[in-house]
Amino acid sequence: MRKYLLSTSAIAGVSLMSSLALADVSLGGYVEFQYNSTDSDIAANDGTATGSDAEVSFTFTNKTDTGLDITYNSQLDTDGGTIDQHSLTIAGGFGKLVMGIADGAEDAYAMNPGAVTQEESNATTLTNTASTTRIGSSTGAAQDGDSSKVSYHMPAMGGLTAGISTATTLAGGADMTSMGAKYAMEAAGAAVTLGYSSATKEGASKDTDSSSLGMSVVTNGFTIMIAQSSFEATGEDYTTDSVGIGYTLANGVALGAFTVKSQDDIDVSEEYTATHYEMAYTIASGLTAVLTVSDFEYENGTSSDSGTVDENGTITSFNIKASF
């Protein structure tokens, strides 16, 4: 009996190894070192600091006999020692189904002009409360974070792509649905993309709603993106306008600029503005140096959010990024 069990286990092990051999496995990641210098009118925020960010990504792909593409991806935040995202994707003629802890439809289809630059503005890294960060960073997907959800993305129809996501909780009352769409076309030799996304999260007294509408134009080495987004929740009603522009020189130097203005219609005169300038140089394949300067100003206005105070200043950053 013992020999039979061992033989059976051996056969099962060989079978498992054979099935695993059919999968393609890829390993990637990045590491980034950053040096920041902050000049703020709040003394506690002045000074210099260093930091790092790193991630390792594992991807397993396989194709079934019926033609379905199956992918499992896991992303490890090596700084925090946690799994950022892990999801299973099944794709075929019907479109794509994504299940797990991953970004959803709001993030996939939001137009975020900050993405024109390689490093988003550090000016949102203030010591004020989360309200300040939200008012400065709601240029794209305001609610779509790394939470367990199911997403469906339809197959492309010409230049149209679209998707929907849903996330539910056991207790209820905090379920979230997001959706979005993009349409890509060519006009006068330029690549033009229109995008819209929205998300609604149920709340006990008021739902949290966010949306983003924008357009990008790519022509002759230039990338221009504009967007307007909104965020509504209990005591919050932000509208954000943003513009980003990027250009790559013949020598590989990439120049970029990004400006954002966000204002709360409930807390009168609460306003956040930031302008971000960037120059990136590819030292070698997979190795990039990025210099950024971010000017920002936050006005508290009539906001009653605890800890929010007026602040303005400049953050200068130097980044070394390596991707694998």
Q: Are 181 and 160 in contact (CB under 8 A)?
A: yes
Residue 189 lies in a domain: yes
Number of domain units in the chain:
1
Find the domain containing 256 and state its range.
Answer: 24-323
With 0-12 / 13-18 / 19 or more C-beta atoms within 10 angstroms meaning exposed / middle / buried, residue 132 is buried
Residue 297 lies in a domain: yes
Residue 11 lies in a domain: no
Residue 15 lies in a domain: no
CATH of the domain at 182: 2.40.160.10
Go through the chain and tell me how many residues it has: 324
Which stretches within 99-143 are classed as H helix? 105-109, 130-137
Residue 4 lies in a domain: no
Residue 8 lies in a domain: no
Residue 166 lies in a domain: yes
CB-based contacts of 166-170 (< 8 A; 24+ apart in sequence): 167/104
Q: Are 62 and 51 in contact (CB under 8 A)?
A: no
pTM confidence score: 0.81
Residue 3 lies in a domain: no
Instruction: Walk along the chain (324 residues) and give the pLDDT tens digit of each residue.
Output: 333 333 444 444 444 444 444 679 999 999 999 998 989 888 887 889 898 889 999 999 999 999 999 999 999 988 777 888 899 999 999 999 999 998 899 989 998 888 888 875 544 444 443 344 445 545 556 676 677 899 999 999 999 999 999 988 766 667 889 999 999 999 989 999 999 999 998 887 888 898 999 999 999 999 999 999 888 888 788 888 999 999 999 888 999 998 988 888 887 778 888 899 999 999 999 999 999 998 988 887 766 665 677 888 899 999 999 999
